[in-house]
Amino acid sequence: MSNSAIVFPGQGSQKVGMGADLYEKYKEVRDFFDEADSILGRNITKICFEGPAEELVKTTNTQPAIFLVSAALLKVLIRNGHLPKVVAGHSLGELSAYYAAGVFDLKTALNIIVQRAESMERSYPAENSAMAAVIGMKEDKIRHILNDFSGSPVVIANYNSPDQIVISGEKEGLTSACRIIKDQGARAIPLKVSGAFHSPLMQQGSDELREHISDFVFNDAEVPVVLNRTGEEETISEALKKNLPLQIVSSVLWVKSIQTIQSKVDSIIECGPGKVLSGLIKKISPGKQVFNIYDNETMNIFLDA
């Protein structure tokens, strides 16, 4: 086992064509995607590789597609002897971390991910939901501003880095909060999302997912999973199962998660489409060795290093 952590990205990192070069090069990746298509009963591989973009960005396609690319990259790492010492994932990426830790198999992972996506979409009208990244304002100041919007709930959804916090909630309240944040000299950047994720507005989705997985069998994690909701390690199956529905309505404590990981490993590998997590990790833990693997080229660079 290498002395590395592997972390997995969440929704927003997708792009048409992701994973296609891995599919062409590695038979186990081809078999993996083909099995996923069979399990889902639809050609998610084609949507992932060929689009169109308007299909890929639909939550019910985006979430399984990102998971599959992340898991395919993991397969290549493992076949080359790179087993993680600890794993974590950002939001949706936490499902990839569960899979990497052996908590459940591919069929169960896809079943849960599809249900999670559908339940989150149903939770609250997308047209009344919004999220925004706040840059350049401290947590306590953001909290003070958000306290004035209790009738139109807006909460901190993601603690992404020391200088980036994501807020989430009802659209009218969030728009007003962003106006105040900008007036006080910080940046508030609207995110292109289809819901107020990681907020109390996702409660219906949380309840539906809890019911859906009630009879599922989870395994104890083979390596610790650092949870978004707590920023701490977990390996016990029942705790991991209980966590998944709660994660939907809870903040992503990414800063705390990376702080937990950094003392345990020599390096952190972002495994999945995009480069978002690598950038955040470098801000949270300057000096820590960070690798970003998202396609065949970056995989080869890592393996040759």
CATH number of residue 148's parent domain:
3.30.70.250
Q: Looking at the structure, do residues 76 and 209 belong to the same domain, yes or no?
A: yes
The distance in angstroms from the start CA to the end CA of the chain is 17
The reply to whether 133 and 234 lie within a common domain is no
Task: Please check whether residues 30 and 108 belong to one and the same domain.
Answer: yes
pTM for this entry: 0.96
CA distance 256 to 260: 6
- Indicate the residue type of 87: V
Residues 6+ away with beta carbon under 8 Å from 301: none
Residues 18 and 97 in one domain: yes
Looking at the structure, do residues 16 and 148 belong to the same domain, yes or no? Answer: no
Asked if 41 and 104 sit in the same domain, the reply is: yes
Tracing tokens 């105040």 back to the chain, one arrives at 180
The CATH number covering residue 14 comes to 3.40.366.10
Tally of domains in the chain? 2
Return the number of other C-beta atoms located less than 10 Å from residue 278's C-beta. 18
Q: Which residue from 184, 190, 186 is spatially nearest to 169, judged by alpha carbons?
A: 190
- The pLDDT assigned to 126 comes to 87
The stretches in the chain having pLDDT less than 70 are 1
Task: Determine whether 90 is an active site residue.
Answer: no
Last residue of a domain, one of 195, 227, 243: 195
Of the candidates 91, 96, 206, 250, the residue annotated as catalytic is 91
- Structural domain that includes position 282: 4-123+201-304
Collapse the DSSP code of 282 into the 3-class scheme (helix H, G, I; strand E, B; otherwise coil) and give the result: helix
Residues 153, 72 share a domain: no
Residue type, 73: L
Q: What span, in angstroms and rounded, lies between the C-alpha atoms of 118 and 108?
A: 16
Of 198, 251, 257, 278, catalytic: 198
